[in-house]
Amino acid sequence: MTLSQPPNRLAALLLGSFALSTAVVPAIASTPLRMAAAPQAAAGKDHDHDHSHDHDHGSLEKGKHVHGEVTFNIALDGELLTVELDAPAINVIGFEKSPRTDAERQAVAAVDAWLAGGRDIAAVPRNAACRLASVAYTPPQLGTGHADYRARHSFRCTNAAALEWVELWALRRLTGVERAEANVITPTVQRQQELTGGALRVSLK
């Protein structure tokens, strides 16, 4: 499916309007960006059905909160590669309520550390020489209704011409994902891609 937004307008949506706090983090020295194994929280049995509600998705177009569906925005602008994640809390930590047990609190803390730290988000060709430049992430308020995890990770790639693909390793940490969609915009491509069958790789060409 081809995205209908003009490239410059879509780039602005992807990169310019995410309502999150921004913290600069140390650069990662190598690519692909290695992902450490992490436990996946079990999805709550009382949340095995879809919920559709309007939410303000910041850089994403206003859409539906649907359990099992996650969205990635991938944008390449010069040397800057940006990967944005938007996912229901049920698919990130396994629940949406306020954490009540030590295990739930540990699950929340682990996800916060992961998304705020910016590691284990994506893999790219090693010769693209990408280093983590910045992270924008604010934890959602759990227990106040349906919650979504949103994070933006930007990478500085000194050989951006080698960026033929991105592997969304973040999907390995999510649970119960039934549909993953990637919106891609580069100087030459604007495309929407659905990842099926456990696929992680998104072409940037």
Angle in degrees, CA 42, 114, 122, rounded to 5? 100
Q: Region 126-147: what's the mean pLDDT?
A: 93
pLDDT exceeds 80 at position 142: yes
Half-sphere exposure of 200 (CA within 13 A, CB side): 14
How far is the C-alpha of 116 from the C-alpha of 24, rounded, in Å? 10
Q: Please give the structure tokens belonging to residue 73.
A: 């925005």
Q: How far apart are CA 205 and CA 186, in angstroms?
A: 8
Instruction: Please tell me the predicted confidence (pLDDT) of residue 192.
Output: 96
Note the pLDDT tens digit of each residue in 11-65: 444 444 333 333 333 333 334 443 222 333 333 333 333 443 333 333 434 445 6
**Taking residues 150-177, what's their average pLDDT?**
96
In whole angstroms, what is the distance from residue 84 CA to residue 65 CA? 16
pLDDT tens per residue across span 55-107: 333 343 444 566 789 999 999 999 999 999 999 999 999 999 999 999 999 99
pLDDT over 70 for what percent of the chain? 68
The span from the CA of 64 to the CA of 69, in Å, is 9
Mean of the per-residue pLDDT values of the chain: 77
Contact (CB, 8 A) for 160 and 81: yes
Q: What mean pLDDT is predicted for residues 120-132?
A: 96
What's the mean pLDDT in 116-133? 96
